[in-house]
Amino acid sequence: SPTPIIAPSILSADFAALGKACSDTMSQGADWLHIDIMDGHFVPNMTFGAPVVTMIRPHVEKPSSAFGRGTFDCHMMIAEPHRWVKEFKKAGCDLYCFHYEAALQSTAADSPSGQTEEKTSPAKLIRFIHEQGLRAGIAVKPKTPVDVLYPILDSENKEEVPDMVLVMTVEPGFGGQSFMADMMPKVKELREKYPEMNIEVDGGLSKKTIDQAADAGANVIVAGSAVFGAKDPSEVITKLREAVEK
């Protein structure tokens, strides 16, 4: 499978000193920054929007290649995800990961093209994200089965195929929840079907739970409280990476 990527979630960082928290976690060995955007509507919690991403961007060097070190992995836990693509591109986002469930509920009235007759769909949104020069990720909540993604992943239109799938291993909304091991069959099934795809897991990942995720085939590992709550964050990042490498 593709290279291991460790993406600390800044949800558990000190928001009053966010720039330094971001540059520190990068020098402690992080590959990407996982940036949780919550709107208090799609999930029962709020974080921040594009202005904060703009402010932290200068603290982390832009990636020199697709999926490279310094990638801003924006996890959009928001309704109407198509409305914020341009804004986040401008703010310095590299990978725009929206929720399948949110895209399904978006209305045609404000579709990416602005044409009322065009239906917003995950595929159309992925195309739109790519047109803006971003990588596209698609996330599924615990109750969403992965097979809904197969028609999207198997599309003949390469511009409408996502670059990453995020399998949530907690209900989105809060850091520090317990890892849902029962999500691993989803990861396993995806890995068997798509050996080269980036598969991200998010929620409850730690030194204790990483082996289950790694064995199932996840290669992009998000960890919030396990990294930012650690006495020695670089040791945690190293351990997570080693578990995926082996």
- Tell me the sheet residues that pair with 167: 140, 201
Q: In terms of CB distance, is 142 or 150 closer to ligand DX5?
A: 142
To the query of whether residue 202 is one of the catalytic residues in this protein, the response is yes
The distance of Cα 243 from the centroid of its chain, to the nearest Å, equals 20
Q: Does 75 bind Zn ion (CB under 5 A)?
A: yes
Is the sign of the CA dihedral 76, 203, 71, 187 positive or negative? negative
Nearest to 131 by CA among 113, 104, 108: 113
Q: Which residue is nearest to ligand DX5 (CB)?
A: 224
In the complex, minimum distance from the CB of residue 122 to ligand DX5, in angstroms, rounded to a whole number: 19
- To the query of whether residue 14 is one of the catalytic residues in this protein, the response is no
Measured N-to-C along each axis, helices 18-27 and 233-245 cross at an angle, to the nearest 10 degrees, of: 50
Answer for the pair 99, 81: CB distance below 8 angstroms, yes or no: yes
Nearest to ligand DX5 of 173, 193 (CB atom):
173
Give me the least distance between CB of 147 and ligand DX5, in Å please: 22
What is the x/- site pattern for ligand DX5, positions 195-234, by CB under 6 A? Answer: -------xxxx----------------xxxxx--------
List 24, 31, 36, 39, catalytic entry: 36
**Stretch binding Zn ion (CB under 5 A), from 18-26, 54-62, 79-87, 202-210:** 202-210
CA–CA distances in Å: residue 213 to residues 113, 148, 157, 202 = 38, 21, 30, 10
Buried b (16+ CB within 10 A) or exposed e, 153-182: bebeeeebbbbbbbbbbbebbbbeeebbee
Nearer to Zn ion, 150 or 229 (CB): 229
Angle CA 16–88–102, to nearest 5: 100
- The site that binds ligand DX5 (CB under 6 A) totals a number of residues, namely 22
Which one-letter amino acid corresponds to residue 135? Answer: R
Residue 176 contact among Zn ion, ligand DX5, none, beta carbon within 5 to 8 Å by kind: ligand DX5
Token pair, residue 65, equals 């290649």
Q: What track of x and - describes contact with ligand DX5 for positions 42 through 81 (by CB under 6 A)?
A: ---------------------------------x------
Q: Choose which of 36, 39, 73, 163 interacts with Zn ion (CB under 5 A).
A: 36
Helices (H), 63-155: 85-91, 100-105, 122-131, 150-153
- Give contact residues for Zn ion (rule: CB under 5 A): 36, 75, 202
Active site residues: 36, 202
- Give contact residues for ligand DX5 (rule: CB under 6 A): 9, 11-12, 34, 36, 75, 170, 172-177, 202-205, 222-226
